[in-house]
A and B are shown apart, each in its own frame.
Chain A
Amino acid sequence: QVQLVESGGGVVQPGRSLRLSCAASGFTFSSYSMYWVRQAPGKGLEWVATALYYGDNKYYPDSVKGRFIISRDDSMNTLYLQMNSLRVEDTAVYYCARDSFGDSTNWFDPWGQGTLVIVSS
């Protein structure tokens, strides 16, 4: 079955870096766009990054643009999120999610279980 497993979360000081990984299985990873979505404690969902399956197209919201880098290794079926210059407000559970599509649209499905990042001094 389709499975996404995140890792790499932890406690990090403000200004430092952290890299998250998402190991994918059960589908042809190279044929799907992938996403990172985060959720601060007690808050809602926020899309963080997109890596399309074709070309080198990547997208970010303004809140992380210039600090976060999404990448993928199709040979290893793994998605990454390099997070630099971390801020206290980046504290959240980070989920990776696969693109699903139909009826000319797309959505996030499935999701991994999430990995917690705490930015604190």
Chain B
Amino acid sequence: DIQMTQSPSSLSASVGDRVTITCRAGQSIRTYLNWYQQKPGRAPKVLIYAASNLQSGVPSRFSGSGSGTDFTLTISSLQPEDFATYYCQQSYSTFKTFGQGTKVEI
């Protein structure tokens, strides 16, 4: 299985801050990397697919970059509704794996 490692596991930030979350794959996954946001008690929703493509309806303050083994999710100006947990997920393999999550707190 392809291991996905996110950092940090949690972070504290303020409204308006620029936030960066990283995700590292255990082997090259080219750009087969997706990012999800999950709020407490809710199902996850996709933000970014194929490393850098913004899902329809997702605010443009979210962006993704990277290829191979190293990837980044950036929130350019954190908004109150962005406090949540973020997960990366690889779709390179038939056997899907997620990162352990990054909790963004106030």
A residues bordering B, Cβ < 8 Å? 35, 44-47, 50, 59, 61-62, 95, 100, 102-114
Contact = CB atoms under 8 A, between A and B. Distances in A.
Contact of B45 (A62, A102, A104, A111): A111
A103 B54 CA distance: 12
**B contact residues, range:** 20 to 34
B95 A45 contact: no
Given A45-B87, A95-B43, A102 B95 contact: no
B45 A105 contact: no
B94 interface: yes
21 contacts: A44-B87, A45-B38, A45-B87, A45-B101, A47-B95, A47-B96, A50-B96, A61-B1, A61-B95, A62-B1, A95-B44, A102-B49, A103-B49, A103-B53, A105-B31, A108-B89, A109-B45, A110-B43, A110-B45, A111-B43, A113-B43
Interface residues of B, dominant DSSP: loop
Interface residues of A, dominant DSSP: strand
A82 B49 CA distance: 30
Contact of B94 (A46, A59, A102): A59
Interface of B: 1, 31-32, 34, 36, 38, 43-46, 49-50, 53, 55, 87, 89, 91, 94-101
Given A45-B44, A59-B95, A102 B101 contact: no
Given A44-B98, A44-B99, A45-B101, A106 B91 contact: yes
Contacts of B87: 44-45
Given A61-B95, A100-B46, A105-B50, 9 more contacts: A45-B98, A46-B98, A50-B96, A61-B1, A100-B49, A107-B34, A107-B46, A107-B89, A108-B36
